[in-house]
Amino acid sequence: AQSVTQLGSHVSVSEGALVLLRCNYSSSVPPYLFWYVQYPNQGLQLLLKYTSAATLVKGINGFEAEFKKSETSFHLTKPSAHMSDAAEYFCAVSEVAGGTSYGKLTFGQGTILTVHP
Amino acid sequence: DVKVTQSSRYLVKRTGEKVFLECVQDMDHENMFWYRQDPGLGLRLIYFSYDVKMKEKGDIPEGYSVSREKKERFSLILESASTNQTSMYLCASSFGDGGNTIYFGEGSWLTVV
């Protein structure tokens, strides 16, 4: 079975500082990996996804993530935090195409990002 | 833009009531999902459907059922609501298989008293 672990339920950074949100996955085969963001009182919005093309994936709002198979990790980074980045971030995994997963996602526990002025 | 619409944003129901949460998507997606979101637990899959009238259990189906009579609509049913079902419920949809983006609705906050 697949699983996702996000290290740190809360991360706090200063505006302009590096953002690093950690995600590790467990899967018998290299999966597809996603990062979603949730702003208060809203649904989830896709930030970026890895689907076995380039291992460094660029997403919206200046975020990027790198797939490292040897470390089973997919950490999310942004060079310079902005106040508007304050939200909850979810890492998720799905099985590769060709199975019967229908693309359903298994999510991590979420990381709340706080940005201080 | 894909739109997933959940009919009720906030509901308060009594213990033992039958509760319907409705979800509609406008992109002709085959797959639809119901997730439950709780603090510290992330999102957990309750049920999903890959075609009209087809459904499969997710990780936490107990106490829930679903209905998909039309491709665009997926309903979550709590047969007899209990206080431990107080939560945020998120509907989502996608097409095809793994790797495709799953689009989420804005969520329904359900409080059972």
Distance from CA of B26 to the nearest CA of A (A): 16
Q: Which residues of chain A neighbour B41 with C-beta distances below 8 Å? A: 109
Assign B75 to helix, strand or coil: strand
Query: Per-residue pLDDT averaged across B98-102, rounded?
Result: 81
Q: Evaluate if residue A100 carries a pLDDT over 70.
A: no
Confidence of residue B70 (pLDDT cuts 50, 70, 90): very high
CB pairs under 8 A between A and B: 82
- How far CA B99 is from CA of A63, A85, B65, B79, B111, in Å, comes to 19, 25, 27, 33, 33
User: Do B98 and A97 count as a contact with CB atoms less than 8 A apart?
Assistant: yes
CA A109 – CA B19 distance, rounded (Å)? 27
**Residue B60 CB partners (closer than 8 Å, separation 6+):** B36, B44, B45, B46
* Whole-number Cα distances in Å, A109 to B19, B38, B44, B69, B82: 27, 9, 10, 32, 24
Give yes or no for residue A112 having a pLDDT over 60. yes
**pLDDT band for position B96 (cuts 50, 70, 90):** confident
Q: Strand, helix or coil at A70?
A: helix
pLDDT at A53: 77
* pLDDT score of A30: 72
Confidence of residue A1 (pLDDT cuts 50, 70, 90): confident
Q: Say if CB B91 and CB B104 are below 8 A apart.
A: yes
Q: Using CA atoms, how far apart are residues A19 and B4, in angstroms rounded to an integer? A: 30
**Which region among A92-96, A109-113, B83-87, B92-96 has the lowest average model confidence (pLDDT)?**
A92-96
What gap in Å lies between CA A34 and CA A104, rounded to an integer?
12
Q: Amino acid letter at A18?
A: L
Q: Is the pLDDT of residue B98 over 90?
A: no
